[in-house]
Structure 1
Amino acid sequence: MSVGQGASLNGFVPFPSSNLWNTDISAAPVDPNSDNIINFIGSTVTLHPDFGAGTFQRQTIGIPYQVVDTATQAMVNVTLGLYADESDPGPMPIPSNALIEGYPKPGNGDRHVLTLDRRGCWLYELYHASQSRKGAWSADSSAIWDMTINEQRPYTWTSADAAGLPIFVGLARYDEVAAGAINHALRYTVPTTQRAFVAPASHWASTVTNPSAPPMGTRLRLKAAFDISGFPADDQVILTALKRYGMILADNGSAVFISGVPDDRWNNTDLNMLKTITASNFEVVQMGTIYTDANVPTGPSPTISSFTASATSVTSGTPVTLSWNESGAIYNIISPTVGPVRGASGSVTVFPTATTTYTFYATNQYGRTTQSVTVTVH
């Protein structure tokens, strides 16, 4: 991956090839409820690329991102608000000039901030992010994703997206299109979803129980027989991905809007040709278990056997080793100052300059366990 705002990933695909975002579903069966779901969405609703070049109402079109290297980008704390109890704590390598969705005039929309760390291969995502005049970051929710594994958030937890999914992996990026292939599913929205989710989603955002309403995570696929030969070359890359990988329902929003990255290299005239395609040209890929209030999976949260400091009373700047041992976690975070860490057991060195309580967060699909240790600086 290159470093910078909207930098090229140079062929890197987040998450393993076995991840559901990266799975070829071109030959997967059609869901038996497909027609009902398409009709609920609206069979005559047209596909809409929610990304492009330039601006609309003084906002860039799409969801931006930045790639950093934590060898040079400092980790910073993020103050969490509305969904703090379902968020991943900082610190995070958010640059002071990070692009907020809707820049240069973000307004009161979703205000996502997406940051990839190429050194650690972590993805950091914020929802409704803001930066104070002094440069401090805050957000209503946050999620940290390990791009080397098939990470899942706890069932019924949100992320920076309503479905509990990562956002970045579902974006159409110009560098992919220019290279000739999008090798993952795309993200899309509809106005009304069901109070339910299917994999890979883990969260719903609705009170609607109509079985024809699509659950979060519903995957639509462009029908194999749909002729894409008359579309511009860039559009054909997008449409080929919609046949091979489909698009995954990630949020409530405008009908069949697919997400991408703002980039002045997009040809908006070509992208607008996608609006000639209606929802009737799509089908629902067979869904697995549909999770509702009645059958959300339950199980044990991780177990933390120990989380210790090599010294608990030190002078300012003295190195202190934090060590942990856990079982059953999918991902771990130490807050503050450290961030995500890998391994069921391990250690890191910190250099506290003030009395600090360090907390170890171990998370899996069933919940989160924490343990803390305080290092007093005198």
Structure 2
Amino acid sequence: MLLPSEDEWNRDVSSDEVDPRSEAIIASIGADKPLHEDFGLIWKGAPGGIPYYVVKGDQPRVPVTFRYADESDPGPYPIPPDAWIEGGPQAEGDRHVLVLDRDAMKLYELFHAFPVNGGKSWKASSGAIFDLKNPKPRPAGWTSADAAGLPILPGLARYDEICGAGVLRHALRFTVRKSRHGYVSPASHFASPHMEENLPPMGMRVRLKASFDTTPFQGPAKVILEGLKKHGLILADNGGDWYISGAPDDRWVHESLLPIRRVKGRDLEVVKMGELVTR
């Protein structure tokens, strides 16, 4: 685990109450839509998923200029000039850049990032720095490199835990096409103008129902589904409905992940949420 065991990403929610609006919210996303692995394959010529780069504490820091500087943590950031960009160097999407300083256990994340002068500096829409040894939430209303204001890396499915350790000990990040104008803990930010009360707010957590039979599954698909019963999925961004985020890895066998698509929205339930923040 990247974060302390008591962190919200790592919390066991298998015994939490179900939210009163669970069925209506699930229906708004799609009760008949399947879970979808947004990693483990090649997409448009680049590895699918959100890559991350691990550096030592002596990695040189470089300046970063932010479009949304008022909600971004100022640099410099320890970004190597050849750091992996989500979707590849020519990507037109979110272009996340995630860098983990393994010595200080600090996480540096950028959204819509572009290298300048060969990586001597960078420009990005937003950025956030997280102390993984002593994590603190973003200020209320602040984004991060993600719409919900959360760290990205702790919510990714990673090969070494899914296929190596064979156990998922934290919640996974997921997206929906249409979210609500509001957020609930642990999120700190929303990214939607839609006010309908049955839409999912950022920070909402769903889990796989305890009654769902995972015995027909095996390998990484079973590891993921068992983890979703215990830790669930946390809504972190707008994107495809029920798309689960993971990190690229050449060792993924995409066919071994495909069985999770047999899980539909109706097999999930919303964990009881706290106060909704809409400002």
TM-score, L = length of structure 2? 0.97
Matched, 1:43 2:31: yes
Equivalences for 1:1-378 in 2 at 5 Å?
13-53=1-41, 55-71=42-58, 73-81=59-67, 83-103=68-88, 105-135=89-119, 136-177=121-162, 178-293=164-279
- How far 1:15 moved relative to its partner? 2.1
Q: SS of the residue aligned with 2:210?
A: coil
The answer to whether the 8 A contact 1:59-1:106 is kept is: no
C-alpha separation between the residues in 2 aligned to 1:76 and 1:64? 19
C-alpha separation between the residues in 2 aligned to 1:146 and 1:74? 18
C-alpha separation between the residues in 2 aligned to 1:223 and 1:95? 42
2:51 counterpart letter in structure 1 = P
2:179 counterpart letter in structure 1 = T
Deviations 1:150-190 (A, max 9, x none): 31111111110000010000000000012111111000000
Deviations 1:112-156 (A, max 9, x none): 000000111100000001112432211110000010123111111
C-alpha separation between the residues in 1 aligned to 2:186 and 2:90? 29
Deviations 1:24-57 (A, max 9, x none): 001111011101100111100110000004x221
List structure 1 segments (4+ residues) > 4 angstroms apart after TM superposition.
none
C-alpha separation between the residues in 2 aligned to 1:227 and 1:265? 27
Higher normalized helix content (fraction of residues)? 2
C-alpha separation between the residues in 2 aligned to 1:148 and 1:115? 15
Higher normalized strand content (fraction of residues)? 1
TM-score, L = length of structure 1? 0.72
Structure 1 spans left out of the alignment, 5+ residues? 1-12, 294-378
- Cα RMSD, aligned residues only: 1.1
Percentage identity across paired residues of the two chains: 51
The answer to whether the 8 A contact 1:69-1:117 is kept is: yes
Q: SS of the residue aligned with 1:142?
A: strand
Q: SS of the residue aligned with 1:237?
A: helix
> Which is bigger in relative contact order (C-alpha 8 A, separation at least 6)?
2
Structure 2 spans left out of the alignment, 5+ residues? none
2:11 counterpart letter in structure 1 = T
